[in-house]
Each structure stands twice: as C-alpha cells, then as structure tokens.
Amino acid sequence: MPPRRCYAGSMGSPSQHGTASLTPSVASHSFKLLLSSACVLAGVTHMAFGLLFYQALVAPMMWVNVGSVLAYIVAASLLRQDRVGLAMFLMIAEVAAHAILAVVAVGWESGFHYYLLIAIPVYLANQVNKWPFKIAFASTIAVAYLLLDWYWRKAPPYFLMSSDTLAYLHRFNLATTIALLSGLTVLYVHLITQAEERLHELATTDTLTGLMNRRSILTALEHEQALRERKPHPCAILLVDIDHFKRINDSYGHNMGDWALQAVADVLKAGIRDMDFVARWGGEEFLIILPFADTQTALPVAERLRTGIADLRIPTKDQEISLTATLGLTELQANEPADAAIQRADAALYKGKHDGRNQIVVSPIGLVTN
C-alpha cells in the first residue's frame, strides 16, 4: 500500500498558494529601493560638484551642493519612514532648484538646465503623488525652464568659469541626462512589460490553485483541435471532481476547502506530462487535456491521479482530512466540438458519482473502480 501524503503546505493564508501577484507592498518596496539608490548616486554626484565648484572658486554653488547632499540624506531618512511621497517631492524639488541656481550662477552653457527636462517626466510618472499636485508642480518646473531659456541663455553668469571647465560641465551634464533618460525609458518599458505579463496571467490563471482557468484551457483545446486537423492524433479529456467537497466546506470552513483545492491541484500538476494541460474548471472540478493519448493510454494516468488524491491527508486541529475524487475519461473525436467531448466526460463523471464515487468512468466504454 503506498504511503499517505500529508499535505501541510504553508500555514499562512490559502490565497498565498495561488498565482503570485505584484501586491502594492511589493511594488512600494521596489520603488523605495529605486529612490534610495537614486539618493546615494545623487549625493555622491553633488559631492563631486561641490568639490569642482570649490576648486573653481564658486563658493555659493559649493554650499548649494552641500545643501543638496543634506537634502538627499533627509530624503533617504523619509524613505526609511515610508514617507515616499514627501521624499519624492524633496528629490525633484532639489533637482529643479539646483538646476536653476547653477544656470544663474555659472551660465546656460554649463548644461545644468538639462536636469529640469528629467524632473518633469519623472515626477509625472511617479505613482505616489496625486495628479493635480503632479501637474501643478511639473507645470511650475516647465515655466521655470522656459524663463531660464528666455533670459539666461544669453545673460552673463554671476561667476565666470574657464571655457574648458564649462565645456566639461556641459558634456558631463548632457551625458548624464541622456543616460538617465535612457535608463528611465528601459525601466518604464520593463514595467509595462511586467504589467502586460501580469494582466495575461490574471486572464489565464486561476488565482487560488495556480492552474489554468476555464478560458485558457478552452483556448488550448481549440488549438489542439486545429493541430489534429492538420495532423490527426488522439487526445484524451479527463474531468476530475473532488468527492463530498461541500461537506469539507460545511464542516471545516472555506479556508480548509481552499487547502483541499490546492492540494488536489498540486497532485494533478505533478501527475501529468509537460505537454498536457490542467485547469480548474469550476468549483471543485478540474479539466485535463492529454494530447497524443487515447483512453487506453490515459487510463493509467487517471488511476495515478485518483490514487494520488486518495493518499492525501490534510491536517486540521483535531484530525486529518482524507480526500477522494471521481474522474470521467473520454477521447476527443474527429471534427467534434470541444463542448460535446467535455459533456461526455461530465456524463461519465456523473455516473461515477452515482455508482459510489472514488472511481474512474471511461466514456462510452465502462467503469474502473478503486
């Protein structure tokens, strides 16, 4: 007699066994990590700027960069306190203020105005602040940029720097701007791709069990039928239903019912081939498609799944819950609608329920009991 399998899983919430989701806490953590890294990089950059302005005898801008470093230290502290919105505002405000003061101090040719162009899309794209505030703040930065362009492009700076130093600053600031915008583009493309993948996952996956959902397995079945039209081959369909599932929900609660569904789903996933498809069909029913398998080939698979479910033991406070399942097996016929084959498997399953459960019924051939 094969050993019993005790399904312990995780003792957390049953929903944790479903498809992993990008929860707000996970997204917030990733965003905070990104901002924290930006604080470190910006702080180091402003220390370098401060040293450069010190050597160029532009003392006011040296102290401005000291203030910038302090601003990023404060922003990092706010991030540790989960005050992400305020930290984001402080960082963007620092970028804008530093850019404006640097252009006024050493001139348009220094290239510090480029950072204003970064601040606008970054602040508009952040998911922390509200849209009215984002639009108002971004508009203020845009107006500041236009005013700088209108007046300070040709106005003499307050502090004169050598042409070589200005050329170095311009090239550095332009290269940094291009690198930042390129990095942001890659980041947003990555986020969009992740969102699309997540939406596809939500549309095709049962969140509780991690199996395919009804829609996605019907699509897979349609694809299988199209393949069979080009290259005929057998395809078995197996419908699985947990016996007395309502009794589990009524006696032990819906959380324990969820555990049972997840345990059965794990058995089904482990008991089929990579080319096969398994889905939660609805409630406590599961549908399995076995390409290149007729009923004779699929029958041992069905028996392995039935015994695997019967071997499960789900612990409760007082005892262990045992499970059984009834299975209906049929074979997809040539030019047959998928619904007809599924209905035939369902009729076989219903016969097994009527005749005592915990068995496999092959349609239209006969019966295999435990």
pLDDT digits (tens, 9 = 90+) for 119-132: 888 878 776 778 88
CATH number at residue 222: 3.30.70.270
Asked whether residue 193 falls in the same domain as residue 322, the answer is: no
Terminal-residue alpha carbon distance, the chain: 13
For residue 8, the model assigns a pLDDT of: 52
Alpha helices (H) in the chain, listed in sequence order: 24-55, 59-80, 84-106, 114-125, 131-147, 163-204, 214-230, 245-252, 254-270, 295-310, 338-354
Within-domain flag for 277: yes
State pLDDT tens for residues 335-364: 888 889 999 999 999 999 999 999 999 987
Please tell me which residue, 8 or 264, carries the higher pLDDT value. Answer: 264
13 has pLDDT over 70: no
Asked whether residue 296 falls in the same domain as residue 323, the answer is: yes
Last residue of a domain, one of 204, 230, 245: 204
Question: For all residues of the chain together, what is the average pLDDT?
Answer: 86
CA 83, 87, 88, 89 torsion-angle sign: positive
CA 267, 271, 273, 275 torsion-angle sign: negative
Mode of pairing for the β-strands spanning 359-362 and 285-291: unpaired
Q: Is the peptide bond before 300 cis (omega within 30 degrees of 0)?
A: no
The pLDDT confidence band at residue 305, using thresholds 50, 70 and 90, is very high
Cα 133 to Cα 72, 130, 139, 141, distances in angstroms: 21, 6, 10, 12
Asked whether residue 237 falls in the same domain as residue 89, the answer is: no
Asked whether residue 145 falls in the same domain as residue 267, the answer is: no
Percent of the chain with pLDDT over 90: 57
20 has pLDDT over 60: no
Last residue of a domain, one of 204, 231, 253: 204
For residue 66, the model assigns a pLDDT of: 96
Q: 272, exposed or middle or buried, with CB in 10 Å at 0-12, 13-18, 19+?
A: buried
Asked whether residue 95 falls in the same domain as residue 180, the answer is: yes
Within-domain flag for 45: yes
The pLDDT confidence band at residue 38, using thresholds 50, 70 and 90, is confident
Please tell me which residue, 333 or 217, carries the higher pLDDT value. Answer: 217
Asked whether residue 255 falls in the same domain as residue 199, the answer is: no
State pLDDT tens for residues 189-200: 887 888 788 888
Token look-up 């040539």 returns: 334
For residue 44, the model assigns a pLDDT of: 92
Asked whether residue 251 falls in the same domain as residue 191, the answer is: no
Token look-up 């004779």 returns: 296
Within-domain flag for 17: no
CB 342 within 8 A of CB 308: no
Within-domain flag for 19: no
Last residue of a domain, one of 175, 204, 233: 204
Exposure string of 309-334, with b = 16+ CB inside 10 Å and e = fewer, is bbbbebeeeeeebebbbbbbbbbbee
Asked whether residue 197 falls in the same domain as residue 146, the answer is: yes
Asked whether residue 242 falls in the same domain as residue 311, the answer is: yes
What does R_g of the chain's alpha carbons equal in angstroms? 32
Within-domain flag for 13: no
For residue 22, the model assigns a pLDDT of: 37
Residue type, 41: L
Asked whether residue 265 falls in the same domain as residue 325, the answer is: yes
For residue 12, the model assigns a pLDDT of: 43
For residue 361, the model assigns a pLDDT of: 96
Task: Taking residues 55-82, report their average pLDDT.
Answer: 94
The pLDDT confidence band at residue 28, using thresholds 50, 70 and 90, is low
Q: What is the dihedral of CA 105, 111, 112, 114, to 10 degrees?
A: 150
Indicate which residues carry an active-site annotation: 284
CB 256 within 8 A of CB 248: yes
Cα gap 370→365, rounded to integer Å: 17
For residue 4, the model assigns a pLDDT of: 55
Asked whether residue 288 falls in the same domain as residue 352, the answer is: yes
pTM: 0.62
Within-domain flag for 120: yes
Cα gap 316→312, rounded to integer Å: 13
Q: Which of 351, 311, 345, 352 is nearest to 330 (CA)?
A: 345
| Domains held by the chain: number | 2
For residue 287, the model assigns a pLDDT of: 98
Q: How many CB atoms lie within 10 A of CB 98?
A: 22
State pLDDT tens for residues 89-109: 899 899 999 999 999 999 999
Within-domain flag for 3: no
Asked whether residue 192 falls in the same domain as residue 212, the answer is: no
State pLDDT tens for residues 223-272: 998 898 889 999 999 999 999 999 999 988 999 999 999 999 999 999 99
Range(s) of the domain holding residue 233: 208-369
5 has pLDDT over 60: no
Within-domain flag for 11: no
Q: What is the DSSP string of 95-136?
A: HHHHHHHHHHHH-GGG-TTHHHHHHHHHHHH-SSS-HHHHHH
Chain CA centroid to CA 200, Å: 10
Task: Taking residues 70-93, report their average pLDDT.
Answer: 91
The pLDDT confidence band at residue 368, using thresholds 50, 70 and 90, is very low
